[in-house]
Amino acid sequence: MKKQISAIKGTKDILPEEARKWQAAESVAKRVFELYGYREIRTPVFEPTELFQKGTGETSDIVIKEMYTFKDKAGRSLTLRPEYTPSVVRSIIENRLYLQPEPLRFYYIGPMFRYDKPQKGRYRQFHQADIEVFGEEDAAVDAEIVEMADYLLRELKVSGTENLVNSVGCNNCRPSYIKDLRRKAKEAREGLCPDCQRKIDTNPLRIFDCKLEACREASQSFPQITDYLCQECKGHFQRFCNYLEIYGIKYRIEPRLVRGIDYYTKTTFEIISSRLGAQDAILGGGRYDDMMKVFGGPDICGIGFAMGMERLLSVVPSEKKKEKFVYLAFLGEEAKKRGMNLVRILRREQIECLVEYKERSLKSQMSRANKLGADWVLIIGEEEVRKERYQLKNMASGEQKEAAQEEILEIMRKSF
């Protein structure tokens, strides 16, 4: 017995039936994004490691523990992208997109890679639909993004979601919060896991990302960022919440929502679903007003979100949509050739046809057509080839009639 090769742990195949569901969700997402003025951008799957160290942040769990980093043949350190935003920022700067008149609104759907512990809702290769807006400071855009996400979920018939919002302040107000947070975290040191103990010194904000119950409980007594916001951040947050109310979007302020990435400023948000279990966030995002500057680009603010496609699809209700198609049943080489040509013409008319070339009896071809759920069977034997008239069977009614090419086309056009 030869050894079987299996997929890598934390990755999974998306088989045809499931892929249909993905295609449908992706096309709804693209339609909604385009409706709000976003345009697709595609960047490489791997990037210089430095991009994520600098962008995602040296103290984030993603950079410390979860990156797929490797050396290529030239000895360069490359990383499979763990998230999308740094790539988009790099691309905007490199291609000087900010000099163009088009609004800087982008979307993307594709795979991301994180060396995380695989579990339900958490994979090592997973997919995100991301959107990013640059150059819009107004809190109205923060609300518009949440409203768009909410609309997208309604379009996909996802129910039972909750919108969590917060502000993580800016470089003016966060330092004094971090100082107090660090002091409190030091007092609670004993009750924290080793990872969080390390975070006290490196970035205490990251303690809120810890999933361990003990750390979560300890963090309940920590100070809340919302009590430390400067006038500017407080005003922005209030306006954001007001605009959400104008849209009629319900939300809950969650002061511990700091999100696992270092670059956020002001607004952060998540949409969670109670149907997802421990990994309950369908999407998350926020502002990153300083990122472009950090990469040596112009001083342009940014905001965006990333939606996990696997988690999204696990809460999108399945719609059994059957494809309509014609099955070709033929007997003999001449009938096959005639059938091949007829099917070609039907396909040009956008009529789906299935031809299985394996030799089978007519009976067994009919039974295949039935099993596969064909709507019509086009039957061609020697007699049909000679007469240039073919048998067309409607599988639902069982009715069968003889028809010439033009007539078949006419019936098919009407039926599809």
Task: Provide the token pair at 364.
Answer: 């067994």
Query: Distance (Å, rounded) from C-alpha 86 to C-alpha 54?
Result: 9
Assess 128 for contact with ligand AMP (CB under 6 A).
Answer: yes
Under the criterion CB under 6 A, does residue 145 sit at the interface with ligand AMP? no
Residue nearest to ligand AMP (CB): 308
- Nearest by Cα to 374 from 339, 328, 331, 343: 328
Which residue, 21 or 234, has its beta carbon nearer to ligand AMP? 21
Among 47, 310, 375, 384, binds ligand AMP (CB under 6 A): 310
Tokens for 214? Answer: 């003990």
Vertex 336: Cα angle to 332 and 342 (nearest 5): 145
The yes or no reply on residue 130 touching ligand AMP (CB under 6 A) is no
Choose, by CB under 6 A, the member of 54, 90, 236, 311 that binds ligand AMP: 311
Q: Is 281 in the site for ligand AMP (CB under 6 A)?
A: yes
Nearest partner of 250 among 119, 154, 182, 351, judged by Cα: 154
Does 126 bind ligand AMP (CB under 6 A)? Our answer is yes
Check residue 288 for interaction with ligand AMP (CB under 6 A): no
Q: How far apart are CA 94 and CA 88, in angstroms?
A: 10
Query: What are 304's strand-pairing partners?
Result: 132, 286
Q: Choose between 269 and 327: whose C-beta lies nearer to ligand AMP.
A: 269
8 Å CB contact between 49 and 123 = no
Site for ligand AMP contains 287 (CB under 6 A): no
**Residue 262 and residue 203 in contact, taking contact as beta carbons nearer than 8 Å:** yes
Our CB check for ligand AMP shows the closer of 125 and 394 to be 125
Q: How far is the CB of 131 from ligand AMP (least distance, A)?
A: 12
**Smaller CB separation from ligand AMP, 314 or 394:** 314
Helix axes 139-155, 16-35, angle to 10 degrees: 140
Q: With binding defined as CB under 6 A, does residue 122 bind ligand AMP?
A: yes
Q: Which of 57, 260, 302, 304 binds ligand AMP (CB under 6 A)?
A: 260
Distance CA 309, CA 152 (A): 13
The answer to the question of residue 308 lying near ligand AMP (CB under 6 A) is yes
> Given the complex with ligand AMP, which of 38 and 330 has the nearer CB atom?
38
String marking each residue 96-115 x if it binds ligand AMP according to CB under 6 A:
------------------x-
Applying CB under 6 A, among 284, 302, 304, 339 the residue interacting with ligand AMP is 284
CB 114 within 8 A of CB 271: no
The answer to whether the beta carbons of residues 169 and 177 sit under 8 Å apart is yes
Q: Token digits for 224?
A: 């809340």
* Residues forming the site for ligand AMP (CB under 6 A): 83, 114, 116, 121-123, 126, 128, 259-260, 281-284, 306, 308, 310-311
